[in-house]
Amino acid sequence: MTGESSKAARIAKALDRFAIEIPSWGFANTGTRFGKFLQPAAASTIEEKFADAAEVHALTGVTPTLALHAQWDLPNGIADAPAIRRLEAQYGIRAGSINPNLFQDQAYKYGSICNPDPEVREKATVHMLDCVEIAKRLGSRDIAPWVSDGSNYPGTQSIRKRILWMEESFGRVHAALGPEQRLLIEYKPFEPAFYHTDIADWGMALELARSAGRQAFVLVDTGHHYQAQNIEQIVAWLLHLKRLGGFHFNDRKYADDDLTLGSIDPYQVFRIFHEILISSASKPLDVAFMIDQSHNLKGKVEAMVQTVATAEELFAKAALVDLEELEILQRQCKLVEAEECFRSAFWEDVRPMVREWRRSRGLPADPLLGLAESGYVEKITAERAEQNSKAITSYA
Ligand code: RM4
Ligand code: MN
Ligand code: MN
């Protein structure tokens, strides 16, 4: 094989096992904490979210599952599971991770599973147990809570007691898991709490996962790190400890900005994919790749297609790293050569090869062009504009 055709073959092999989950909330009207700018094409029902997800999957071929947020997508809890099953069949999209909502209810003003009030802790735990049951009914593997708890002022809460309460709650949720299910614990350094956040970093999430049990793992949201943190090192550690559950991909300039994956720092995503690929060269990828983005300014379906296409391209680049060569250069401490070996894969313009892979799999070579040609956005704009114009946008 020539160099180019062996590269194309490596890319095809990598992309054939690539999948990324899209979030239902990525299609809905969202905003900043100062307000929402409504989009006429935004999805406001779970059916519209499924329809948008099906369109993204038809164009990209790698997004077979839709992450669901329990409170937004199943407002009646378990009772809504049959309706979701019908939408799965209708749109050819499976329910993905089930995300409990531990931050919106008025009861959670002073915390959910860390609330000093045992009744509130119970309510939050029962909600997560319901999510386990929802996931069982939908055949979903992952329950992915993000705990927004914390405090704003020193001395106002017992950090230690709150650790115990989390251990207790996650222990109960873990005990309810089916044999194939997983509990993914997400961390975030700040917001909405600003003095202390109960699960502020990967160490806290890891210890909580360990204490919950063998089916608990850490979820790495790329936007949930301080600027200087080395995310791929965290990934390497979690892989080493066999506690990496999955990712919420997005990009950020300052904090939890939820910008399009790779829009600010594509090299970061490449470096993460590289760590995954070294550890799973021949094994199936059991780490869940998920997107956690809110496109407040870009068109939602367009931004999701752009995100997925970018993820494919960065994964393809990471698959081009010559791992054997890199290993030799690392051992010899040939720093410049090792760095060039690594970076040359990143600099490679893989887009023609990714396009070829898409064509060979019966997909549009350029999914964004495919979307433009499909007329889908115009169609949903016409159908949804009136409903969207009635939504509430105010911050205060
Ligand atoms: C958080 C976190 C969670 C998401 C919420 C809405 O920052 O990323 O994954 O569910 O936002
Ligand atoms: Mn997240
Ligand atoms: Mn976030």
3-state SS assignment for residue 282: coil
3-state SS assignment for residue 99: strand
DSSP, residue by residue, 108-151: GGG-STT-SSHHHHHHHHHHHHHHHHHHHHHT--EE--B---EE
Residue with tokens 């105010």: 394
Question: For ligand 1, is residue 225 a contact (CB within 6 Å)?
Answer: no
Closest protein CA for atom 10 of ligand 1: 146
Distance CA 224, CA 250 (A): 10
User: What integer pLDDT is reported at residue 98 of this predicted model?
Assistant: 98
**208 in Cβ contact with 169 (< 8 Å):** no
- CA–centroid distance, 194 to ligand 3, in Å, is 15
**143 in Cβ contact with 131 (< 8 Å):** yes
Tokens matching residue 52: 């948008």
- CA–centroid distance, 217 to ligand 2, in Å, is 14
Distance CA 7, CA 195 (A): 49
Question: For ligand 1, is residue 273 a contact (CB within 6 Å)?
Answer: no
CA angle 91, 389, 83 (to 5 degrees): 25
Low-confidence ranges of the chain (pLDDT < 50): none
Q: Which atom of ligand 1 lies nearest, measured to the CA of 148?
A: 1
User: What integer pLDDT is reported at residue 130 of this predicted model?
Assistant: 98
Closest protein CA for atom 4 of ligand 1: 146
Distance CA 157, CA 339 (A): 47
Tokens matching residue 155: 């001395």
Residue in 98, 185, 221 to alter for ligand 1 test, most ligand atoms within 8 A of Cβ: 221
| Burial class of residue 81 in the structure, from the number of CB atoms within 10 Å of its CB (0-12 exposed, 13-18 middle, 19+ buried) | middle
Please write the tens of the pLDDT for every residue from 294-349.
999 999 999 999 999 999 999 999 999 999 999 999 999 999 999 999 999 999 99
Torsion of CA 70, 76, 79, 83, to 10 degrees: -70
| Residue 82: C-alpha distances to residues 79, 129, 141 (Å) | 7, 18, 17
Q: pTM of the entire structure?
A: 0.97
Closest protein CA for atom 1 of ligand 1: 146
Tokens matching residue 136: 């069982």
Helix axis angle for 335-347 and 323-331, nearest 10°, is: 160
Nearest to 272, CA basis, from 205, 306, 225, 304:
225
User: What integer pLDDT is reported at residue 396 of this predicted model?
Assistant: 76
Please write the tens of the pLDDT for every residue from 14-71.
999 999 999 999 999 999 889 889 999 999 999 999 999 999 999 999 999 999 999 9
- CA–centroid distance, 311 to ligand 3, in Å, is 18
- CA–centroid distance, 282 to ligand 3, in Å, is 31
User: What integer pLDDT is reported at residue 2 of this predicted model?
Assistant: 60
